[in-house]
Amino acid sequence: MSVVGDIQKRLKFGLSTDQEDRFRQANFGKDIAHARIFIILILLPFVAILVNDYGFFGPTRMFYGILALRLVIVAYTILFLKSLRGLPDYLSYDRAEFYWGLSLALAHIMANSTRPENFFAHTIAIVVAISITVIAIPNRFTNQFITAIVYVVGQTLIIAPNIWTSPLASFTVLLNMFIATAVVIIFSWLLHFWRRREFLTQEEIEEARAKIEMQLTELKQAEKTMAKIDNARQKEIHHRIKNNLQIISSLLDLAAEKFNNRECIQDYEVIKIFKESRDRVISMAFIHEELYKGEGFETLKFSPYIKKLAENLFQTYKLIDTDISLSMDVEEDIFFNMDIAVPLGIIVNELVSNSFKHAFKGRDTGEIRIKLYREENSECINGLNNNKEACKSTDFVLVASDNGVGIPESLDIEDLESLGLQLVVPLVDQLDGELELKRENGTEFIIKFTVTDK
Protein backbone atom coordinates (compact mmCIF):
# COMPACT_ATOMS: atom_id res chain seq x y z
CA MET A 1 0.00 0.00 0.00
CA SER A 2 2.87 2.36 0.80
CA VAL A 3 4.52 1.62 -2.59
CA VAL A 4 1.29 2.41 -4.44
CA GLY A 5 0.83 5.55 -2.38
CA ASP A 6 4.39 6.63 -3.11
CA ILE A 7 3.86 6.07 -6.86
CA GLN A 8 0.64 8.08 -6.76
CA LYS A 9 2.39 10.87 -4.89
CA ARG A 10 5.17 10.97 -7.47
CA LEU A 11 2.67 10.98 -10.31
CA LYS A 12 1.02 14.01 -8.62
CA PHE A 13 4.47 15.63 -8.22
CA GLY A 14 4.00 16.10 -4.47
CA LEU A 15 0.76 18.07 -4.81
CA SER A 16 -2.35 17.32 -2.88
CA THR A 17 -5.66 16.91 -4.70
CA ASP A 18 -6.70 20.47 -3.83
CA GLN A 19 -3.35 21.88 -4.91
CA GLU A 20 -3.46 19.96 -8.20
CA ASP A 21 -6.98 21.25 -8.80
CA ARG A 22 -5.90 24.86 -8.15
CA PHE A 23 -2.86 24.42 -10.41
CA ARG A 24 -4.87 23.03 -13.31
CA GLN A 25 -7.62 25.64 -12.93
CA ALA A 26 -5.04 28.43 -12.85
CA ASN A 27 -3.35 27.16 -16.04
CA PHE A 28 -6.47 25.95 -17.88
CA GLY A 29 -6.62 28.86 -20.32
CA LYS A 30 -2.88 28.78 -21.04
CA ASP A 31 -2.95 25.01 -21.58
CA ILE A 32 -5.68 25.29 -24.20
CA ALA A 33 -3.88 28.11 -26.04
CA HIS A 34 -0.65 26.10 -25.91
CA ALA A 35 -2.36 22.94 -27.20
CA ARG A 36 -4.00 24.77 -30.12
CA ILE A 37 -0.61 25.98 -31.36
CA PHE A 38 1.10 22.59 -31.35
CA ILE A 39 -1.86 20.64 -32.68
CA ILE A 40 -1.87 22.99 -35.67
CA LEU A 41 1.88 22.33 -36.07
CA ILE A 42 1.14 18.59 -36.29
CA LEU A 43 -1.13 19.25 -39.31
CA LEU A 44 1.50 21.26 -41.19
CA PRO A 45 3.60 18.26 -42.45
CA PHE A 46 0.42 16.63 -43.82
CA VAL A 47 1.38 17.38 -47.44
CA ALA A 48 4.91 16.01 -46.92
CA ILE A 49 3.44 12.79 -45.48
CA LEU A 50 1.12 12.45 -48.48
CA VAL A 51 4.07 12.86 -50.86
CA ASN A 52 5.93 10.15 -48.95
CA ASP A 53 2.88 7.86 -49.13
CA TYR A 54 2.46 8.47 -52.88
CA GLY A 55 6.13 7.84 -53.51
CA PHE A 56 5.95 4.53 -51.64
CA PHE A 57 2.60 3.20 -52.95
CA GLY A 58 1.86 5.17 -56.08
CA PRO A 59 -1.77 5.68 -57.21
CA THR A 60 -3.02 2.45 -55.69
CA ARG A 61 -5.95 1.50 -53.48
CA MET A 62 -3.58 1.33 -50.51
CA PHE A 63 -2.54 4.94 -51.11
CA TYR A 64 -6.15 6.12 -51.28
CA GLY A 65 -7.04 4.09 -48.20
CA ILE A 66 -4.21 5.68 -46.20
CA LEU A 67 -5.18 9.09 -47.62
CA ALA A 68 -8.76 8.58 -46.38
CA LEU A 69 -7.46 7.59 -42.94
CA ARG A 70 -5.28 10.64 -42.73
CA LEU A 71 -8.12 12.91 -43.88
CA VAL A 72 -10.34 11.46 -41.17
CA ILE A 73 -7.66 12.28 -38.56
CA VAL A 74 -7.30 15.79 -39.97
CA ALA A 75 -11.07 16.31 -39.82
CA TYR A 76 -11.16 14.95 -36.27
CA THR A 77 -8.28 17.26 -35.33
CA ILE A 78 -10.08 20.31 -36.76
CA LEU A 79 -13.25 19.46 -34.84
CA PHE A 80 -11.18 18.88 -31.72
CA LEU A 81 -9.53 22.32 -32.11
CA LYS A 82 -12.93 23.98 -32.49
CA SER A 83 -14.26 22.21 -29.40
CA LEU A 84 -11.41 23.43 -27.19
CA ARG A 85 -13.02 26.85 -26.68
CA GLY A 86 -16.21 25.31 -25.33
CA LEU A 87 -14.64 22.94 -22.82
CA PRO A 88 -15.93 23.80 -19.31
CA ASP A 89 -12.92 22.66 -17.26
CA TYR A 90 -9.51 21.00 -17.37
CA LEU A 91 -10.99 17.52 -16.75
CA SER A 92 -12.99 17.77 -19.99
CA TYR A 93 -9.87 19.00 -21.76
CA ASP A 94 -7.79 16.09 -20.41
CA ARG A 95 -10.33 13.53 -21.66
CA ALA A 96 -10.77 15.15 -25.08
CA GLU A 97 -7.03 15.55 -25.62
CA PHE A 98 -6.33 11.97 -24.48
CA TYR A 99 -8.90 10.55 -26.93
CA TRP A 100 -7.50 12.67 -29.75
CA GLY A 101 -3.88 11.70 -28.93
CA LEU A 102 -4.80 8.03 -28.72
CA SER A 103 -6.65 8.23 -32.07
CA LEU A 104 -3.63 9.94 -33.63
CA ALA A 105 -1.28 7.25 -32.32
CA LEU A 106 -3.50 4.41 -33.56
CA ALA A 107 -3.88 6.08 -36.98
CA HIS A 108 -0.11 6.41 -37.28
CA ILE A 109 0.34 2.79 -36.30
CA MET A 110 -2.24 1.66 -38.89
CA ALA A 111 -0.61 3.76 -41.62
CA ASN A 112 2.90 2.62 -40.74
CA SER A 113 1.83 -1.01 -40.65
CA THR A 114 1.32 -0.88 -44.43
CA ARG A 115 5.06 -0.31 -44.97
CA PRO A 116 7.02 -1.89 -42.11
CA GLU A 117 10.29 -1.78 -44.06
CA ASN A 118 10.25 2.04 -44.45
CA PHE A 119 12.57 2.47 -41.47
CA PHE A 120 13.43 6.14 -42.09
CA ALA A 121 9.78 7.14 -42.11
CA HIS A 122 9.16 5.16 -38.94
CA THR A 123 12.01 6.85 -37.10
CA ILE A 124 10.92 10.38 -38.03
CA ALA A 125 7.26 9.67 -37.27
CA ILE A 126 8.03 8.13 -33.88
CA VAL A 127 10.30 10.94 -32.65
CA VAL A 128 8.06 13.78 -33.88
CA ALA A 129 4.76 12.25 -32.72
CA ILE A 130 5.95 11.30 -29.25
CA SER A 131 7.85 14.56 -28.69
CA ILE A 132 4.93 16.78 -29.63
CA THR A 133 2.15 14.84 -27.91
CA VAL A 134 4.08 14.18 -24.69
CA ILE A 135 6.09 17.39 -24.22
CA ALA A 136 4.51 20.13 -26.31
CA ILE A 137 0.79 19.49 -25.71
CA PRO A 138 -0.06 19.93 -21.99
CA ASN A 139 -2.16 17.19 -20.41
CA ARG A 140 -2.15 14.85 -17.44
CA PHE A 141 1.21 13.09 -17.26
CA THR A 142 -0.45 9.67 -16.94
CA ASN A 143 -2.45 10.32 -20.13
CA GLN A 144 0.70 11.32 -21.97
CA PHE A 145 2.56 8.28 -20.63
CA ILE A 146 -0.21 5.91 -21.78
CA THR A 147 -0.28 7.51 -25.26
CA ALA A 148 3.50 7.13 -25.59
CA ILE A 149 3.42 3.48 -24.47
CA VAL A 150 0.59 2.66 -26.92
CA TYR A 151 2.56 4.25 -29.74
CA VAL A 152 5.79 2.45 -28.81
CA VAL A 153 4.10 -0.95 -28.43
CA GLY A 154 2.28 -0.54 -31.74
CA GLN A 155 5.44 0.47 -33.58
CA THR A 156 7.36 -2.38 -31.96
CA LEU A 157 4.76 -4.88 -33.16
CA ILE A 158 5.14 -3.48 -36.68
CA ILE A 159 8.92 -3.46 -36.81
CA ALA A 160 9.68 -6.60 -34.78
CA PRO A 161 8.87 -9.10 -37.66
CA ASN A 162 11.56 -7.43 -39.81
CA ILE A 163 14.32 -8.29 -37.34
CA TRP A 164 14.88 -11.57 -39.22
CA THR A 165 15.12 -9.95 -42.65
CA SER A 166 16.74 -6.59 -41.69
CA PRO A 167 18.18 -7.05 -38.22
CA LEU A 168 20.47 -4.00 -38.15
CA ALA A 169 17.89 -1.54 -39.45
CA SER A 170 15.12 -2.94 -37.27
CA PHE A 171 17.27 -2.90 -34.16
CA THR A 172 18.40 0.68 -34.90
CA VAL A 173 14.82 1.92 -35.27
CA LEU A 174 13.65 0.13 -32.12
CA LEU A 175 16.65 1.41 -30.12
CA ASN A 176 16.09 4.97 -31.34
CA MET A 177 12.41 4.66 -30.51
CA PHE A 178 13.05 3.41 -26.97
CA ILE A 179 15.73 6.05 -26.30
CA ALA A 180 13.56 8.86 -27.72
CA THR A 181 10.56 7.69 -25.72
CA ALA A 182 12.55 7.44 -22.49
CA VAL A 183 14.08 10.90 -22.97
CA VAL A 184 10.74 12.46 -23.85
CA ILE A 185 8.97 10.87 -20.85
CA ILE A 186 11.74 12.01 -18.48
CA PHE A 187 11.64 15.53 -19.85
CA SER A 188 7.86 15.52 -19.65
CA TRP A 189 7.98 14.48 -16.00
CA LEU A 190 10.57 17.21 -15.25
CA LEU A 191 8.45 19.78 -17.07
CA HIS A 192 5.37 18.82 -15.07
CA PHE A 193 7.40 18.88 -11.86
CA TRP A 194 8.94 22.30 -12.62
CA ARG A 195 5.58 23.85 -13.49
CA ARG A 196 4.02 22.61 -10.26
CA ARG A 197 7.01 23.58 -8.13
CA GLU A 198 6.78 27.07 -9.60
CA PHE A 199 3.06 27.14 -8.82
CA LEU A 200 3.65 25.94 -5.24
CA THR A 201 6.38 28.53 -4.76
CA GLN A 202 4.03 31.26 -5.98
CA GLU A 203 1.30 29.96 -3.69
CA GLU A 204 3.70 29.95 -0.75
CA ILE A 205 4.70 33.51 -1.60
CA GLU A 206 1.04 34.56 -1.78
CA GLU A 207 0.27 32.74 1.45
CA ALA A 208 3.25 34.37 3.16
CA ARG A 209 2.16 37.77 1.81
CA ALA A 210 -1.37 37.17 3.07
CA LYS A 211 -0.02 36.20 6.51
CA ILE A 212 2.21 39.27 6.59
CA GLU A 213 -0.70 41.50 5.58
CA MET A 214 -2.84 39.89 8.26
CA GLN A 215 -0.10 40.38 10.83
CA LEU A 216 0.32 44.00 9.74
CA THR A 217 -3.43 44.51 10.01
CA GLU A 218 -3.43 42.96 13.48
CA LEU A 219 -0.40 45.06 14.42
CA LYS A 220 -2.08 48.24 13.21
CA GLN A 221 -5.22 47.27 15.09
CA ALA A 222 -3.16 46.61 18.19
CA GLU A 223 -1.40 49.96 17.74
CA LYS A 224 -4.77 51.70 17.44
CA THR A 225 -6.00 49.92 20.56
CA MET A 226 -2.83 50.82 22.44
CA ALA A 227 -3.12 54.41 21.22
CA LYS A 228 -6.71 54.55 22.50
CA ILE A 229 -5.61 53.10 25.84
CA ASP A 230 -2.70 55.56 26.00
CA ASN A 231 -4.98 58.46 25.08
CA ALA A 232 -7.46 57.41 27.73
CA ARG A 233 -4.63 57.12 30.26
CA GLN A 234 -3.24 60.55 29.40
CA LYS A 235 -6.73 61.99 29.44
CA GLU A 236 -7.28 60.56 32.89
CA ILE A 237 -3.91 61.94 34.05
CA HIS A 238 -4.76 65.46 32.81
CA HIS A 239 -8.20 65.18 34.39
CA ARG A 240 -6.73 64.20 37.75
CA ILE A 241 -4.06 66.91 37.59
CA LYS A 242 -6.75 69.49 36.78
CA ASN A 243 -8.86 68.27 39.73
CA ASN A 244 -5.86 68.32 42.06
CA LEU A 245 -4.95 71.86 40.98
CA GLN A 246 -8.55 72.96 41.54
CA ILE A 247 -8.40 71.42 45.01
CA ILE A 248 -5.21 73.38 45.68
CA SER A 249 -6.96 76.54 44.40
CA SER A 250 -9.91 75.88 46.72
CA LEU A 251 -7.55 75.33 49.66
CA LEU A 252 -5.84 78.63 48.90
CA ASP A 253 -9.28 80.32 48.84
CA LEU A 254 -10.17 78.77 52.20
CA ALA A 255 -6.84 79.86 53.67
CA ALA A 256 -7.39 83.41 52.35
CA GLU A 257 -10.87 83.52 53.96
CA LYS A 258 -9.28 83.32 57.41
CA PHE A 259 -7.72 86.72 56.84
CA ASN A 260 -10.61 88.27 54.92
CA ASN A 261 -12.37 90.05 57.84
CA ARG A 262 -9.23 91.32 59.52
CA GLU A 263 -8.22 94.94 59.17
CA CYS A 264 -4.48 94.47 59.64
CA ILE A 265 -2.47 95.55 56.59
CA GLN A 266 -0.38 92.38 56.87
CA ASP A 267 -3.53 90.31 56.62
CA TYR A 268 -4.47 92.14 53.41
CA GLU A 269 -1.06 91.38 51.95
CA VAL A 270 -1.47 87.71 52.87
CA ILE A 271 -4.89 87.59 51.16
CA LYS A 272 -3.40 89.15 48.03
CA ILE A 273 -0.59 86.58 48.00
CA PHE A 274 -3.11 83.74 48.37
CA LYS A 275 -5.24 85.07 45.50
CA GLU A 276 -2.24 85.54 43.23
CA SER A 277 -1.07 82.00 44.01
CA ARG A 278 -4.56 80.71 43.32
CA ASP A 279 -4.64 82.47 39.94
CA ARG A 280 -1.33 80.85 39.00
CA VAL A 281 -2.62 77.44 39.99
CA ILE A 282 -5.81 78.01 37.98
CA SER A 283 -3.76 79.05 34.93
CA MET A 284 -2.03 75.66 35.07
CA ALA A 285 -5.30 73.83 35.73
CA PHE A 286 -6.81 75.37 32.60
CA ILE A 287 -3.97 73.91 30.56
CA HIS A 288 -4.77 70.38 31.73
CA GLU A 289 -8.48 71.03 31.23
CA GLU A 290 -7.92 72.03 27.58
CA LEU A 291 -5.67 69.02 27.04
CA TYR A 292 -8.35 66.80 28.58
CA LYS A 293 -11.00 68.21 26.23
CA GLY A 294 -8.85 68.06 23.11
CA GLU A 295 -7.89 65.02 21.04
CA GLY A 296 -4.14 65.61 21.24
CA PHE A 297 -2.37 65.28 24.57
CA GLU A 298 1.12 66.42 23.64
CA THR A 299 0.28 69.92 22.42
CA LEU A 300 -2.22 72.57 23.46
CA LYS A 301 -4.16 74.88 21.15
CA PHE A 302 -3.30 78.16 22.81
CA SER A 303 -6.03 80.55 21.64
CA PRO A 304 -8.99 79.00 23.55
CA TYR A 305 -6.77 78.60 26.60
CA ILE A 306 -5.84 82.30 26.68
CA LYS A 307 -9.48 83.30 26.23
CA LYS A 308 -10.56 81.14 29.14
CA LEU A 309 -7.70 82.41 31.30
CA ALA A 310 -8.62 86.04 30.54
CA GLU A 311 -12.29 85.38 31.32
CA ASN A 312 -11.31 83.91 34.69
CA LEU A 313 -9.19 86.96 35.51
CA PHE A 314 -12.13 89.21 34.62
CA GLN A 315 -14.28 87.24 37.06
CA THR A 316 -11.60 87.51 39.72
CA TYR A 317 -11.18 91.30 39.46
CA LYS A 318 -14.75 92.25 38.51
CA LEU A 319 -15.22 94.03 41.89
CA ILE A 320 -12.90 96.79 40.75
CA ASP A 321 -14.97 99.90 40.09
CA THR A 322 -13.64 100.42 36.57
CA ASP A 323 -15.05 99.57 33.13
CA ILE A 324 -12.23 97.51 31.67
CA SER A 325 -12.46 95.91 28.24
CA LEU A 326 -10.34 93.17 26.80
CA SER A 327 -9.03 93.05 23.24
CA MET A 328 -7.53 89.77 22.07
CA ASP A 329 -5.72 89.06 18.81
CA VAL A 330 -4.41 85.50 18.96
CA GLU A 331 -3.70 83.31 15.96
CA GLU A 332 -5.99 80.29 15.93
CA ASP A 333 -3.61 77.59 14.77
CA ILE A 334 -0.88 77.96 17.36
CA PHE A 335 -0.02 74.85 19.36
CA PHE A 336 2.49 74.58 22.20
CA ASN A 337 3.69 71.66 24.26
CA MET A 338 3.62 71.66 28.04
CA ASP A 339 7.15 73.06 28.34
CA ILE A 340 6.04 76.20 26.49
CA ALA A 341 2.37 76.40 27.48
CA VAL A 342 2.82 76.36 31.28
CA PRO A 343 5.36 79.21 31.63
CA LEU A 344 3.66 81.23 28.89
CA GLY A 345 0.28 80.83 30.61
CA ILE A 346 1.72 82.04 33.94
CA ILE A 347 3.32 85.01 32.14
CA VAL A 348 -0.05 86.00 30.63
CA ASN A 349 -1.67 85.57 34.06
CA GLU A 350 0.92 87.81 35.74
CA LEU A 351 0.83 90.56 33.10
CA VAL A 352 -2.98 90.70 32.85
CA SER A 353 -3.38 90.53 36.65
CA ASN A 354 -0.83 93.34 37.00
CA SER A 355 -2.83 95.50 34.57
CA PHE A 356 -6.05 94.85 36.47
CA LYS A 357 -4.46 95.70 39.82
CA HIS A 358 -2.28 98.69 38.99
CA ALA A 359 -2.89 100.14 35.53
CA PHE A 360 -6.26 101.86 36.03
CA LYS A 361 -6.06 103.42 39.49
CA GLY A 362 -8.10 106.62 39.48
CA ARG A 363 -9.65 105.87 36.06
CA ASP A 364 -13.19 104.92 35.05
CA THR A 365 -12.36 103.04 31.86
CA GLY A 366 -9.48 101.06 30.46
CA GLU A 367 -8.43 98.49 27.90
CA ILE A 368 -6.19 95.46 28.17
CA ARG A 369 -4.78 94.00 24.95
CA ILE A 370 -3.32 90.53 24.36
CA LYS A 371 -1.71 89.63 21.07
CA LEU A 372 0.10 86.43 20.04
CA TYR A 373 1.42 85.74 16.56
CA ARG A 374 4.24 83.99 14.74
CA GLU A 375 6.94 85.74 12.80
CA GLU A 376 7.47 84.01 9.46
CA ASN A 377 11.03 83.54 8.24
CA SER A 378 10.86 84.88 4.68
CA GLU A 379 14.22 83.35 3.78
CA CYS A 380 13.00 79.87 4.69
CA ILE A 381 9.69 80.37 2.88
CA ASN A 382 11.42 81.52 -0.30
CA GLY A 383 14.12 78.84 -0.05
CA LEU A 384 16.94 81.35 0.40
CA ASN A 385 18.13 79.86 3.68
CA ASN A 386 19.90 76.50 3.28
CA ASN A 387 20.21 75.97 7.03
CA LYS A 388 17.61 73.24 7.64
CA GLU A 389 17.98 73.42 11.42
CA ALA A 390 17.26 77.14 11.40
CA CYS A 391 14.17 76.64 9.26
CA LYS A 392 12.78 74.06 11.69
CA SER A 393 12.25 76.77 14.32
CA THR A 394 9.45 79.35 14.53
CA ASP A 395 9.62 82.74 16.20
CA PHE A 396 6.63 83.88 18.27
CA VAL A 397 5.74 87.25 19.74
CA LEU A 398 3.48 87.78 22.78
CA VAL A 399 2.31 91.33 23.44
CA ALA A 400 0.44 92.23 26.64
CA SER A 401 -0.44 95.90 26.94
CA ASP A 402 -2.86 98.37 28.53
CA ASN A 403 -3.69 102.06 28.22
CA GLY A 404 -3.36 102.68 31.95
CA VAL A 405 -1.11 104.93 34.01
CA GLY A 406 2.04 103.14 32.89
CA ILE A 407 5.23 102.20 34.71
CA PRO A 408 7.45 105.11 35.80
CA GLU A 409 10.66 105.59 33.85
CA SER A 410 12.61 105.42 37.09
CA LEU A 411 11.65 101.78 37.62
CA ASP A 412 13.96 99.22 36.03
CA ILE A 413 12.43 96.18 34.34
CA GLU A 414 14.52 93.94 36.55
CA ASP A 415 13.11 95.55 39.72
CA LEU A 416 9.38 95.00 39.49
CA GLU A 417 8.69 93.11 42.73
CA SER A 418 6.37 95.80 43.93
CA LEU A 419 4.19 95.29 40.86
CA GLY A 420 3.83 91.52 41.27
CA LEU A 421 5.93 90.72 38.20
CA GLN A 422 8.71 88.89 39.99
CA LEU A 423 7.90 85.68 38.04
CA VAL A 424 7.88 87.15 34.54
CA VAL A 425 11.63 87.63 34.03
CA PRO A 426 12.69 84.09 35.09
CA LEU A 427 9.82 82.56 33.09
CA VAL A 428 10.92 84.46 29.97
CA ASP A 429 14.44 83.17 30.60
CA GLN A 430 12.99 79.66 30.87
CA LEU A 431 11.58 80.12 27.36
CA ASP A 432 14.97 81.41 26.15
CA GLY A 433 13.08 84.52 25.14
CA GLU A 434 13.56 88.28 25.18
CA LEU A 435 11.54 90.74 27.23
CA GLU A 436 11.00 94.34 26.13
CA LEU A 437 9.06 97.01 28.01
CA LYS A 438 7.51 100.07 26.35
CA ARG A 439 6.03 102.87 28.42
CA GLU A 440 4.28 105.08 25.83
CA ASN A 441 0.49 105.46 26.27
CA GLY A 442 0.36 102.95 29.07
CA THR A 443 2.41 99.77 29.43
CA GLU A 444 3.38 97.29 26.75
CA PHE A 445 5.31 94.07 27.39
CA ILE A 446 6.76 92.40 24.29
CA ILE A 447 8.08 88.86 24.69
CA LYS A 448 9.84 87.14 21.82
CA PHE A 449 10.67 83.45 21.94
CA THR A 450 11.50 80.63 19.56
CA VAL A 451 9.97 77.15 19.31
CA THR A 452 11.93 74.43 17.50
CA ASP A 453 10.06 71.63 15.75
CA LYS A 454 11.16 68.18 16.94
Residue with the larger pLDDT of the pair 433 and 386? 433
| Contact residues for 403 (Cβ-Cβ < 8 A; gap 6+) | 359, 366, 367, 441, 442
**What whole-number distance in Å separates Cα of residue 90 and Cα of residue 128?**
25
**What whole-number distance in Å separates Cα of residue 452 and Cα of residue 192?**
65
Cβ atoms of 335 and 302 within 8 Å: the answer is: yes
pLDDT at 418: 46
pLDDT at 416: 56
Residue with the larger pLDDT of the pair 428 and 280? 428
Residue range 125-135, pLDDT digits in tens: 667 777 777 77
What rounded mean pLDDT belongs to the chain?
77
Residue 150 has pLDDT above 80, yes or no: yes
| Contact residues for 451 (Cβ-Cβ < 8 A; gap 6+) | 336, 340, 393, 394, 396
Rounded to two decimals, the pTM is 0.48
For a pLDDT cut of 90, what percent of the chain falls above it?
A: 6
Alpha-carbon separation of residue 440 from 323, 405, 407 (angstroms): 21, 10, 9
Domain-by-domain residue ranges, the chain?
2-208, 301-454
For a pLDDT cut of 70, what percent of the chain falls above it?
A: 72
Q: Which of 274, 398, 415, 406 is nearest to 344 (CA)?
A: 398
Residue range 167-213, pLDDT digits in tens: 887 787 778 778 888 888 888 888 888 888 888 888 888 888 889 99
Q: Partners of 372 in the beta sheet?
A: 330, 398
Residue range 372-426, pLDDT digits in tens: 998 876 556 555 555 555 566 788 999 999 988 888 777 666 665 544 467 788 8
pLDDT at 38: 81
Residue range 252-277, pLDDT digits in tens: 666 666 666 555 545 556 666 666 66
Q: Can you name the CATH fold of 301-454?
A: Heat Shock Protein 90 (3.30.565)
**What whole-number distance in Å separates Cα of residue 46 and Cα of residue 108?**
12
**What whole-number distance in Å separates Cα of residue 111 and Cα of residue 109?**
5
pLDDT at 444: 92
**Positions of E strands within 220-361:** 299-301, 323-330, 335-337
**Of the listed ranges 38-47, 58-67, 203-212, the one predicted with least confidence:** 38-47
Residue 3 has pLDDT above 80, yes or no: no
CA 249 from chain center: how many Å? 50
